[in-house]
Amino acid sequence: MNSVPASIFKDCDIRGLFGSDLTPEIAYRIGRAVGAKLPGKRLLVGGDLRPHTPPLQAQIIEALKASGCLVLDLGQVPTPVFHSALSQLTADGGVMVTASHNPPQFNGFKLMLGPLPPIREDFEEIERMVAEGAQVSGQGRVEKVPPIPQYQEQLIRRFTPAGPLKVALDCGNGSYSEIAPPVFRQLGYEVVELFCQPDGTFPNRDPNPAIPAHLSALCAAVSKSNAQLGVAFDGDGDRVAFTDENGQVLPAEHVLVLLARRLLMKVPLATIVFDIKGSRMVEEEALRLGCVFVEEKSGHSYIRRRMILNQADLGGEVSGHFFYKALRGGDDGLYTSLLLAQILDQTGQPLSQLTRGLDRYQITPDFRLPYDISQAPHLLRRLRDHFTHERLSTLDGVKVYFQDGWGILRPSVTEPAITIRFESTTDTPVPQIARRFLQPLPELLPLLSQKYPDWFPPPDRA
């Protein structure tokens, strides 16, 4: 029996290159492990639009059926539709075949193994079960269930019809391509479509909308069409990014604050969960609204899990996930985009006006450096040993709080890389805070200069 690469088991999902890290045979073994953990249960299986999703999905279904499970085959659906169906169909768990925002050569599995989203320990257990060949046998069966019409109807009922607001939708050829435009139109919006033809090879842009450079076509379309809002979904629909009416990409922190101001103003002691890499501005705005602010590890499963455990009202992640008590702690890019469009429609104010003043601190994007994750603990230890007199957080990697800002270094949960981010909360230039933070890790500065020269110019350009 061929070995299964340990590298595919991440903190929040299973993910790797199709054909090498992930094959139909490996999918079957993972399905048998899930079936052994949830024998005879009622399980959902859905998949994204990638060309290699169907053979992986078929093997997952066959493995769960062989484990005695009742398998509800959702077909090709966005991940938020999969999560919505979990409660609608009273399922015990399931497998969503998707690599989410990763490039088209990747694929993977998002799992639900019970009422709480799985985290690192759960995936380590599945990894052990796969290695041991764990399985149970039974006579399961498969039912095909088309959940999308019901999902669309429920979503439209949640929102009131809008006025004459123009919205540019960049579906990125992903899972919301044939769903988001008609939903917006049925609610009265004028829609400008961009890349709304389903194509899991993602021929027009990278499926990750959290990187502003990937949204150049959307920014241009917003400006050309005089749209009031630009929306971009990731490959499976749970992440979303926005531009204002000027084609300027909004940081996720700004979106979360707008949602909090609208949804939580009259909710006493509402709870907001946000990931540890986010701007300090979010915490300040949460406290101003009288909310409880909870910092959590980066990763959609960690934040969703915290949402459920704390019965939190609203949550967010820098990468573009937004979570809601109304969705049982879940996230949905289309739901978020409809909320933001509704805010614009009801306030009658442009998005640039609503976000004015929220950029009071200078914060960097995520700096991602390819790195041997097995060596990341050595980097973290050197940071901890060096900053013995500073306030530290080791919730996720190492975050060092300075009087004038902060820096964080953490292993990525989705790829073999380290993620670094900095914020200045005073007039101190961000590169100065970065160099202070990286004093014990001087070998990383040349790597940052090489990959991000606009932020860290080489000495001959400084």
Q: Which of 64, 82, 419 is nearest to 238 (CA)?
A: 82
Catalytic residue among 32, 67, 83, 100: 100
Q: Where is 323: in which H helix or E strand?
A: strand 322-324
Rounded CA separation 211/91 (Å)? 34
Q: Which two structure tokens, joined as six digits, stand for 80?
A: 């938020």
- List, in sequence order, the alpha helices (H) in 310-386: 333-347, 351-354, 376-386
Phi/psi of residue 106, nearest 5 degrees:
-100, 160
Q: How far is it, in rounded angstroms, from Cα 268 to Cα 274?
A: 18
CB 61 within 8 A of CB 71: yes
SS3 322: strand
15 is catalytic: yes
Amino acid symbol at 460: D
Q: Name the packing angle between helices 252-263 and 333-347 (round to 10°).
A: 60
3-state secondary structure 390-456: CEEECCCCEEEEECCEEEEEEECCCCCEEEEEEEECCCCCHHHHHHHHCCCCCCHHHHHHHHCCCCC
| Structure-block tokens of residue 345 | 């429609």
Task: Label residues 309-333 b or e (16+ Cβ within 10 Å = b).
Answer: ebebbbbbbbbbbbbbbebebbbbb
Residue 315's SS3 state is: strand
- Whether 321 is catalytic is yes
Q: What are the two backbone dihedrals, phi and then psi, of residue 352, each rounded to the nearest 5 degrees? A: -60, -30
What gap in Å lies between CA 18 and CA 333, rounded to an integer? 25
Amino acid in position 206? D
Is residue 422 within 8 Å of 407, Cβ to Cβ?
yes
Q: State CA 211 to chain mean position distance.
A: 12
Residue among 206, 179, 15 at smallest CA distance from 107: 15
225 catalytic per annotation: no
Which candidate in 15, 29, 101, 300 is catalytic?
A: 15
User: Which residue type is seen at 89?
Assistant: L
Dmax of the chain from CA atoms?
A: 69
d(CA 60, CA 432): 50
* Separation CA 277–CA 406 (nearest Å): 10
Bridge partners (DSSP) of residue 168 are 192, 230
Please identify which of the residues 205, 214, 300, 321 carries the catalytic annotation.
321
Catalytic annotation, residues = 15, 100, 321
